[in-house]
Chain A
Amino acid sequence: MTDISAQDQAPEAVEKTRNQWWDVWDQFRSHKGAMAGLIFLTFITLFCAFGPMVWDVDPGKLDIRNKDVRPIYVAIWDGDAKTSWARPMGTDHLGRDIMSNIMQGGRISLAVGWTAMILAILIGTFVGVLSGYFKRLDWGLMRFTDLVLSLPILPLLLVMMLLFRDPLRAAFGPETGIFLLIVAGIGITSWMQTARIVRGDVMALKEREFVLAARSIGTPPRRMITRHILPNVLSPIMVSATLGLATAIITESALSFLGLGFPSDFPTWGKILFDSVDRMTAFPERVLWPGLAISLTVLAVNYIGDGLRDALDPRIRGL
């Protein structure tokens, strides 16, 4: 009897851990918004990552004779419009192909957006949890947060550029060097809100019954934080992450006007959008594509965040 049950239990335990993640996935899959978001995000990522291999037009290639080509669908209602199947999304005022620019721009925008956002969330969560959980660290960390919040961003970025641009360029080459600088610039100027929010929540959580209970059985702080505190501050972190992604993509375009961003021949979604605003009425497609790309990506990430939160919350999953 005991032997059998011992034999039975072992494989069952394995199956059980698998089941838990299947549960999460099942719950996630039942969230229509999250699935739509995941599909869109996969699509846009593949489109930007592998699109240039299929659509191998050089995004920087100027073709001044074919400038201001309208996207192909304009031909449906305006037969006289300058359209071409070779340029399905049209070209800009210097004859650069918009589709390949959106792909190339997406690579950079997505890479910058994700990395900077993850960096900001990591710093913010780290500072917030430490500060909220350990009273000794609170004063110092929060005054440091106040300090960073008070610094004017523009001179801060200019100083960063002054100090680190050339060393990074020498160490990693011009493109990676600038990428690191931008990611660091956005990351270290946008973690403070997350830190303050996480800290506020942690301070409240710390006094809840289940934390007191866990502490009374001698759980060490490290496990307290990873097991009990962090899962419970997940939802504000998810919100910060979604908002942070949008901010990072847009901030990147602002940086390039300070000379901190990528050189002007590197397209990014934010920059394409900014450059096209002056010609918005004549060529609405030029603001439409990058605008849609940014908005839908952010929306997709937001829905995925919602779905993940629901899926990871055992109270909801049980229902």
Chain B
Amino acid sequence: MKLKTALMGAVATAALGQMAYADAHEGERGRDGEVKIIYWQAPSILNPFLSGGTKDIEAASLVIEPLARYNETGELTAWLVDEIPTVSNGGVSEDLTSITWKITEGLKWSDGSAFTSADVAFTYEYCTDPESGCAQLTKFDGVSSVETPDDLTVVVNFEGPTPFPYGPFVGGESPILQAAQFADCMGAKAPECTDENFGPIGTGPFVVTDFRTNDVIQMVANENYRDASKPAFASVTFKGGGDATAAGRAVMETGEFDYAWNLQLAPDVIATMQEGGLGTPVAGFGPLVERIMLNNTNPDPSLGDDQRSVVRPHPFLGDPAVYKAMSMAIDRPLLVEVGYGQAGKVTCNWVPAPAAVNSDTFTCDVQDIAGANAMLDEAGYLDTDGDGVREANGVPMQILYQTSTNAVRQDFQALIKEWWSEIGIEAELRNIDASVFFGGDPGSPDTFQKFYADVEMYANTFNGTDPQAYLGNGLCDKAPSPATQWQGENISRFCDPAYDQLHAQLTATADADERAAIARQLNDLMVEQGGMIPLVHRGRLSAHANSLGGVNLNVWDSELWNIADWYRTGDNR
């Protein structure tokens, strides 16, 4: 309870500008009527364990909650427990092999029954059942068992020392399910439990009354919520579908909705909408980076399907002079201005957040076409036949540049193609439907994993604040190949023994500062050795109605993490 009050304080401070209405956000539950949320990707299920989709996880976060969450600054915050266990407070064992959570007393499920450690242990059993196909299995990586010494204590044991034990039951991807409700939905029976998956019983501020898949969810305030004065709203309408433009318009121009999620729109379009005067866009930055991956293997079609993008090296992309020149030719501030506006920042790093792991080795915010040309000239890549395209060992430097279909990415392609042509590298553009590009179907030549192109552009990120698993995407053995049915996270096929060694060192280090230092070194290696060209550090941009108070955009967890604290300001403009 103490912690909740502290959190309330933080919210109130953040909302200082709206102090005039401070009296409006104190009071009884349900005083502010209805809040309407629009997600342009419609939620299809409310069980995050059966769907990894962000839209589903965030919709479910109104109902079911984890033991601890990340707050808007990326710090761990106790949610259903008294405090965050650490080595210093004895919650994490000295040898880093177990963590003990103490559940807050008196918590109730929305059906009135008590929330106990058995529910937490059940959630672990549910997700790790071999037949369930649980989407959040990585959250439980390395867990050997979950014990429940008493009703309010949960002990998670790991197979080995785990420097970062905050995977299981932390964050929106790993909420607690009610054992009584899901007992018959284990393993292969998981998909048959439609009612349970559409209306989980939770500890969160709202209870589902009507769920229509891929369309709309209606919820009412949870009568058994732990804070009697929350949530301020009596009901939620959670509409899905349409596109980002329509969602932004509904909040900022017509005022039909109160909150619109993830408005991936060009900055000038957002600015026009904001002139509607009914809503405000807010941005937050996680570790999401838009980057160009450089193929470290040879994608030449004449090699055949089994050798293509498997054999090394690339005819010329592996030369530092080439990829550095390609990076220097890019005007990153302009990309930010054109594509993302306030939801983007220039970055030269693969892992730009949290702040501790953001390396400051490189600078890249100034375009240098002349310097890039000089670098290529010096390295011996010259335009010998005068057609404006340089040759590498007699072969023209023509590259295939692919990405998924998306308005901003196509603008980026056009701009970057233009800059590269100025340094004598000709790019052919290709855009592929996102469901095919990210689909991972081994039968399709167009997946980003197969990488049948010289460079490709997309964005990637990681959940939570610990980059260890994400940095693992640069390991040699994670490269996709026919032997692995083209599965694997090392898309650029980057391979450097020094990198592998350093990553092994990271997995064995416990000290936070030291971990951050190693992470920075890994980031520098990846960029320096030609794994990728980072372009833009992308934020999440959402919009809320001006009459909606308490919104505190959080990119480290569900965006709707603090909906219990939302309220109506009475400001109708």
Q: Does the CB pair A259–B432 fall under 8 Å?
A: yes
**Chain B: which residue is nearest A282 at the CB level?**
B272
Q: Does B433 contact A (CB under 8 A)?
A: yes
Looking at chain B's contact residues, the main secondary structure is: helix
Chain B residues with CB under 8 A of A275: 407
- Tally inter-chain residue pairs, CB-CB below 8 A: 68
| 11 other A-B residue contacts (CB within 8 Å) besides A60-B414, A279-B269 | A94-B414, A158-B433, A174-B428, A257-B405, A259-B432, A264-B429, A265-B429, A278-B265, A278-B269, A279-B268, A281-B272
B345 smallest CB distance to A (angstroms): 19
Q: Does B413 contact A (CB under 8 A)?
A: yes
**Residues of A bordering B, CB below 8 Å:** 60-62, 64, 68, 93-94, 158, 162, 166, 170, 174, 256-259, 263-265, 275, 277-279, 281-282
Which of B268, B417, B418, B436 has a CB less than 8 Å from the CB of A93?
B268
B563 smallest CB distance to A (angstroms): 29
Chain A residues with CB under 8 A of B415: 62, 64, 94
A265 smallest CB distance to B (angstroms): 5
Chain B residues with CB under 8 A of A94: 338, 411, 414-415
Chain A residues with CB under 8 A of B334: 64
Q: Could you name 19 residue pairs across A and B whose Cβ atoms are closer than 8 Å?
A: A64-B334, A64-B415, A93-B266, A93-B268, A158-B433, A162-B444, A162-B445, A166-B445, A257-B433, A259-B430, A259-B436, A259-B437, A263-B429, A263-B431, A265-B429, A279-B269, A279-B272, A281-B272, A282-B272
Q: Does B410 contact A (CB under 8 A)?
A: yes
Task: Kindly state the separation between the CA atoms of A166 and B444 in the bound complex, as whole angstroms.
Answer: 12
In the complex, chain B residues 407-429 whose Cβ is within 8 Å of any chain A Cβ: 407, 410-411, 413-415, 417-418, 428-429
Chain A residues with CB under 8 A of B431: 256, 259, 263-264
B569 smallest CB distance to A (angstroms): 28
Q: Does B191 contact A (CB under 8 A)?
A: no
**Chain A: which residue is nearest B428 at the CB level?**
A174
Q: Does B301 contact A (CB under 8 A)?
A: yes
Q: Does the CB pair A62–B433 fall under 8 Å?
A: no
Q: Does B559 contact A (CB under 8 A)?
A: no
Q: Which one of A60, A257, A277 has the highest number of Cβ atoms from chain B below 10 Å of its Cβ?
A: A257
Q: Does the CB pair B413–A264 fall under 8 Å?
A: yes
Chain B residues with CB under 8 A of A257: 405, 433
Q: Does the CB pair B433–A258 fall under 8 Å?
A: yes
Task: Kindly state the separation between the CA atoms of A265 and B421 in the bound complex, as whole angstroms.
Answer: 14
**Chain B: which residue is nearest A64 at the CB level?**
B334
Task: Kindly state the separation between the CA atoms of A165 and B283 in the bound complex, as whole angstroms.
Answer: 40
**Chain B: which residue is nearest A60 at the CB level?**
B414
Q: Mark B429-449, 1 if CB is under 8 A from A, else 0.
A: 111110011000001111000
Chain B residues with CB under 8 A of A259: 405, 430-433, 436-437, 446
B148 smallest CB distance to A (angstroms): 48
Task: Kindly state the separation between the CA atoms of A290 and B253 in the bound complex, as whole angstroms.
Answer: 26
**Chain B: which residue is nearest A92 at the CB level?**
B411
